[in-house]
A and B are shown apart, each in its own frame.
Chain A
């Protein structure tokens, strides 16, 4: 691990009315690791993600990405810096094709604008081709190349989750955050997802994920961060977390608690 982490949250706080959704949360994500963010429903996990991606502004605290404070930056700027995400409730462009969904991710690495498009200059055409190549490549990576013509809404739930990952990867991120990527997937699809996340790490992309599937989390994360009522109650290696009495009481307690997921 290099000395400074890729992402550092310090004393991050966000409240909605009276609810302290995230309360003084601090943790690091090191380069090249897969970190899991876990906790019961309503613990504030998704809120942490929305703070990182600039969808919400924190009340206080700092978010350092590669040493740079990204608080108050706009979401699209943060994406351009190299943070990509997926959503807990799938947010694809439902009426557009799988290919075009992934092309959305390519957008921030392209430059041609309205005038370039109307004049159709050679470099603009070249850029368009490169984008198509990248998009098809990412679809291939997640195993959806054969469905690139399909409208997103016609894909199965599991494939929609994969498509969101492909779109996120097309932004060329250094850091990928996945909000319940296995939500709604069957066992087979989850296994494919585990392999995929490992491959993403092999591409040099650091991963932070929220997941209720403890099996998956224990298998792929080298570090876990546990939230309860907006407060971080533990962090560490999965084996330690499994034995942590507070975590067992708060979350792991009843083995195999299936929850429903909603934004």
Chain B
């Protein structure tokens, strides 16, 4: 077995049995990590693959979370049924807001997307359409039910969250190794050359936004179900920064890197809780050092490999 395969197996096995040894508090920490991991993976489509500096992902997460919260509390629709719908709402919202800004570059896009998070948060605080519950938020969201089994405890949520994360990883791996994933990379590398090669850059950027938002919206459903209470405080600019940092620090464009980033950024501060005041300082210093010594992240994106064995000719193998 290749070392990478062994690591994969070990990580998956550890994750499967971890809740066994951990108390509710630590499982809850893992649950947070899992949700952030999904969010960061969805942001990675936009920021990592397509290279679009999007710092407003919390806005899409918020739209998904509130869609679930509102429809569940108002109409009693089972939470997990609302997952695709929350994804669609967030995706549609992304379509609306991203379309006019899609041509912006780098720092300009960054600033506008920060603005989007703030607009959404303020709209929620101000109880738009009278359905978001203002700054108190929405209470009494139902527990999710899977095959007649109600999910309540952190341990139960753990398998729901990490199950969803696993599906996300598998699907996004396929996405990465496809015509779509390549197209986003070409655009990131040089969008003039990409268009000159026949790729509709504007279209793909938009699809990246919509897909990333769709996934963040679905993560919102799980978040709403886990919290049972949602309020605007969960969707501040800071949340966007955390997601952004996970992707950049872990390894932009690399699924493993993003997963590792989620564990480090969300998990480490919990581990070093005793050091209270100093921990953010140490954390900040570590990040600065990282960006100096590993500017492409802890696990930078690796080139894709192609199996060319099916080709006849002088040189079959790709690697």
- Please report A residues at the B interface, Cβ cutoff 8 Å: 53, 55, 74-76, 79-80, 84-85, 87, 91-97, 99-100, 103-105, 107-108, 110, 112-114, 116-118, 120, 124, 127-129, 131-133, 136, 140, 145-146, 148-149, 151, 167-168, 171
Contacts and interface: CB of A to CB of B under 8 A. Distances in A.
Given A99-B306, A108-B197, A151-B303, A93 B315 contact: no
A152 B311 CA distance: 22
Interface residues of B, number: 38
Contacts of A124: 178
Interface in B231-271: none
Contact of B185 (A53, A96, A116): A96
Given A112-B180, A146-B315, A53 B198 contact: no
B39 to A, nearest CB: 18
Contacts of A149: 318-319
B196 A112 contact: no
B179 interface: yes
Contacts of A148: 318
Contact of A74 (B185, B192, B200): B200
What are the 10 tightest A-B residue pairs by CB atom distance, in nearest-first order? A108-B198, A117-B178, A79-B198, A91-B193, A93-B189, A104-B197, A75-B195, A118-B171, A76-B200, A114-B180
A117 B179 CA distance: 8
B201 to A, nearest CB: 7
Interface string B191-232: 011111111110000010001000000000000000000000
Nearest to A85: B196
A91 B179 contact: no
B185 A93 contact: yes
The residue among A76, A116, A145 with the most chain B CB atoms within 10 A of its own CB is A76
A107 B182 contact: yes
Contacts of A132: 306, 308, 311
A95 B185 CA distance: 10
A141 B114 CA distance: 48
Nearest to B307: A132
A153 to B, nearest CB: 11
A70 B190 CA distance: 24
Given A104-B182, A112-B180, A129-B310, A118 B174 contact: yes
B196 A75 contact: yes
B318 A108 contact: no
Contacts of B201: 76
B197 A133 contact: no
A97 B198 contact: no
Interface of B: 171-172, 174-175, 177-183, 185-186, 189-190, 192-201, 207, 211, 303-304, 306, 308, 310-311, 313-315, 318-319
A85 B49 CA distance: 25
Given A107-B183, A145-B315, A114 B207 contact: yes
A74 B196 CA distance: 10
B303 A97 contact: yes
13 contacts: A75-B195, A79-B197, A79-B198, A84-B198, A87-B196, A93-B185, A93-B190, A99-B306, A100-B182, A104-B194, A107-B186, A108-B199, A117-B179
A74 B199 CA distance: 10
B296 to A, nearest CB: 10
Nearest to B312: A133
Given A91-B193, A118-B174, A112 B198 contact: no
Nearest to B181: A117
A136 B207 CA distance: 29
A100 B207 CA distance: 21
Nearest to B203: A76
Contacts of A120: 174
B199 A117 contact: no
B174 A87 contact: no
